[in-house]
Chain A
Amino acid sequence: MSSVLTKLITIVNHYHNGDESIAFRMLMDCVIDTHDQDIYKKALVINELRESSQQKNAVDKALELIEELKGFPYRESEANKLLLDAKGIHKKYSSFHLENVDLEIRTGDVWGLVGENGNGKTTLLKILANQIHYDRGELHFNIPSRSAYELRTKLAYIPQRTAKWFGSVKYNLQYTASNYGIYGEMNELYVLMYMIRFGLWRFRGHKWNELSSGYKMRFELVRTLLRKPTILLLDEPLANLDVLAQQLILEDLKNISDSVSNPIGIILSSQQLFEVEKISDKVLFLKNGKPTHLSTANKEKDESTLTVMELDSSASKEELYSALKNYEVLEIVYNGGLYVIQVKNQSFTEVLGELIAHFIQITYVRDISKSSRRLFV
């Protein structure tokens, strides 16, 4: 079964379960991948029905469209294609030293780049975006381009602070699309599809200063996607966003990377460890410029037997030690707000059960055994 068909079946399930919002967003991803004006127009009708609160009709039309999409000849791009290969990247500044960074980005990959402030995340992103020199190492792009400038047109780097733009959301996006060779009626339809997909439909006439931070980031994301980048590099895209907006952006990023017709490689830096790890295939943790690679649970099997738990509790450290006295506790660290407990040869569930059995009051708990969070301790 093709990946599109799998997606479409998932969408139908979402519709049947009443999860209309996620279903519609996923449907729009499949619609955008068709690059077909008629399909786009049909999606536009569904959106108008949604906007005019005719949910029932919208769902019916959506299901009709899904049936049509099942037979649509999608042009599937090569998956898992190597886009960027960095080996032993070094960059020395007077204040810090980025050392020996290795990473490979392939189509469909989402890389999380985490680390505390001033540890080289932005520097590394800029190196990968071909913006700044590195002192040692090798950086190869497997992106066909005739010049350095053309390569840069395919490496979309969204900085932490995006520049102000002028005019309406829609015109700006249309301008970007036409610069990338999408002309005429297709230009408007294509832009509208992205605006619908990323929730900018209602803001199409808005100007820069009329958008919230979250929507500004969405605008930047859409603008970048219209450029059909091969690699997308985002520097702290989640900063200044509320929790819901963060989740939406991350989910969007994951879907973008998995596009059928235009899968891309994404690398994003963030300090929202939990959220980033949720969608990342690979995480690179930078501490004082030194990298540590972590494979997240959804991709690679972790053979470690260490359970690391983040815990918020009113209990004292002694009470915690007492509760876990039967286990091989390596360390309990209290950083002022949360405890980080490291236990050997026990699962997270077992440790949690033991704490509950000893009536330890828990207001928050998270398994960070495979998370880069544990490195922040």
Chain B
Amino acid sequence: MKLHSKLTKYLVENHPLLFHSKFFQLMGVGIVMWLFSFLIGYALTTVSVLRNESVDSYYFESFFVLFHVITVIVVLSIWAIHFFKMKPVRNFYPLRKGYFTLLFFQLMLPFLLMVSVYIPFHEGVIAKTKRLLPLEEFKKDKRILNLGFPFLITNTADYSFENKAYPAPFPLEFYKIYDDQEEVNSFYQKNYDPSFAQQTYVTEAQIQQAEPLRSYLESNDSALQLNGTSYIFYKSRKVYTSSDSCDFNNLISEFVTIPRELTNRITESGLENFSTAFLVNYKSNTPGGFFSSYDYYDEYEFKNLDSLFVARDLPLIYEIAVKKDYETLEKRIEEFVQVAAKYGVPHHLDIPLLVSYWKEKQMKEFGVNVVKTYRLDNSYGNQYPIENEIYKYYSETEKRMLRKYLFVETDDFSKLNSNFQSAHFSDDYTEIYYVFLMMAFLLSSFVLWFEFMEIKPFLLSIPVGGVLTILIILLMIGLNSPEALSQDVNRGIVLFFLCSILGLAIYYVKSSTTNRFFASILLNLGYVLVHFILWYFFLVLNKATKRYILDESNNCGNTISHELFPWIEHPVCFLFFGMISVFLYYKLIPIWKSKKE
């Protein structure tokens, strides 16, 4: 208290603005809130939380968010009583240069601390998560789980632990030869000519003249027969029609004959869910080898760590599955159970029962749920997961038994793992920082409003502003009708209206002959507009001047967009322009304040 009294005395005697804003007190509260939030985040995080919640959103799930909101409201209310009772503007005290701008920053900084306690809370959660799930230890535990997981048969969804993402099931394209001639003809569009293999560019004319696929098929017996249906396996490549063209064709570059020892292991379902075949042949997965494909799913989403796991774990799983090594299988499941117990993951795993199950099944169905498979949709280049419903392989009696004795809460592992990933590898919170900055900016300017505004015109400006907003929205709707103007013109007209209101506000404030009450209402409306009008001006200008120019980096005739202000939609721009225009607007306040009634 003594220190606080000394600080207060020093500030009131030397820095009236700091005394008025209670900057240091607010900062103190903000820092305490940050420290407290860190500690709370740290204290609240337990293994149980990590199993059930996401660390990135735990703040919003916990009671702390409510506590935070109430604390901020209470602190700001107490502060506001102090702040608004001392009105230097109302009392016509001299205002130092940049008074409002300085005051704005003196409010924004502590407000930023107060509204952003999510950050320390989250850091506390992350710190505790790192302690509960240490990098090396959890990696080891994950490996144990991964090695055991394929032998658990109860998870109905895809194996959702991260390392499930083994390489794409089958890297070759294949075609199922139906009797339907039309479909066969359609397939023939994927033209093939061995001479094309040597060519960099293949023209449309060459394709038309080339010996079609049919002749190849007639002369080569490469089709694989599965359950009486023929399958053709091939690789394709994209071939441009000329060096200066962007037209291309997908041509069959190579037909692939499946080695005989593999054909016995490939089942019809395995073509789309190729786990068994893949696992069996995993060892041949070397660069340029049979299963080395451009279509490696992992390359897109699970880089580095996960691909290492995949490479390391799959052979081990394969060993157990192929060699029917039930002893190791039992050991793997035991280790799995130990790790599950370590993290408190609920399960009803009956190890002997599970081992006897595999013995009974002879590992026959193994792999169904190991690999998540994807259907490639070439038309959009997207990949869609194919749902595997393991229970469809079991009878109702088996299902009930499995649920009762072999249940594992796999979601808990998923949560643990995603929290582990967030804690150790994810650090990009940029967007949420912008949200906090924006909140602090708007809160500060809102509070500062009360530093100078007068209550009656302020209250009246609310309905006036509401009516104007409705009119502008109606105008926008009207202009957006099918026969109406382009969006650019539409935006321009709205901008014109907003600028008119702002211009009117400036005129009314500055003119000595205008009514002060109307000037006050317009000043309030202008204050709202000024937060975004400069930014909106540049946005409209940017959109209006946006043009598409030919991409000269290739000859494909593609266009690229050219914008005057490509950065305008970045949140920092909004903040920058918002602040600049608000600070400029503050210059009107002394003029308005000294305006005669």
Contact = CB atoms under 8 A, between A and B. Distances in A.
Interface of A: 126, 130-133, 147-153, 155, 163-167, 171-172, 174-176, 178-181, 183-185, 187-188, 227
A91 to B, nearest CB: 11
Q: Which of A130, A174, A180, A188 has the most CB of B within 10 A?
A: A174
B545 interface: no
Given A131-B597, A132-B596, A164-B85, A179 B93 contact: yes
9 contacts: A132-B597, A147-B594, A149-B591, A164-B85, A172-B86, A175-B86, A176-B91, A179-B16, A188-B13
B210 to A, nearest CB: 86
B509 to A, nearest CB: 11
Contacts of B86: 165-167, 172, 175
A181 B95 CA distance: 11
B92 interface: yes
8 nearest A-B pairs in the assembled complex, by CB-CB distance: A166-B85, A148-B594, A149-B590, A149-B594, A178-B16, A187-B13, A179-B93, A132-B597
B13 A184 contact: yes
Interface in B556-597: 590-591, 593-597
A152 B593 CA distance: 9
Nearest to A166: B85
A166 B81 CA distance: 8
Contacts of A151: 594
A167 B82 contact: yes
B14 A179 contact: no
Contacts of B590: 147, 149
B36 interface: no
A175 B93 CA distance: 10
A152 B92 contact: yes
Contacts of A163: 87, 90
Interface in B58-82: 81-82
A180 B591 CA distance: 19
B88 interface: yes
A179 B591 contact: no
Contacts of B201: none
Contacts of A147: 590-591, 594
Q: Which of A153, A183, A187 has the most CB of B within 10 A?
A: A153
Contact of A171 (B8, B95, B597): B8
B593 A149 contact: yes
B352 interface: no
Contacts of B596: 130-133
B287 interface: no
Contact of B594 (A130, A133, A176): A130
B164 interface: no
Q: Which of A151, A155, A176 has the most CB of B within 10 A?
A: A176
A132 B596 CA distance: 5
A166 B88 contact: no
A180 B13 CA distance: 11
B85 A178 contact: no
Nearest to B592: A149
Contact of A183 (B9, B14, B591, B595): B14
A152 B595 CA distance: 10
A183 B594 contact: no
Contact of A174 (B12, B85, B93, B594): B12
B597 A180 contact: no
A138 B95 CA distance: 28
B13 A166 contact: no
Given A149-B591, A149-B594, A152-B594, A227 B93 contact: yes
Given A152-B92, A166-B81, A187-B14, 6 more contacts: A133-B597, A148-B595, A152-B593, A155-B92, A179-B93, A183-B13
Contacts of B594: 130, 147-149, 151-152
Nearest to A178: B16
Nearest to A165: B85
Contacts of B95: 149
A131 B595 CA distance: 7
A47 to B, nearest CB: 20
Q: Which of B12, B590, B591 has the most CB of A within 10 A?
A: B12
B94 interface: yes
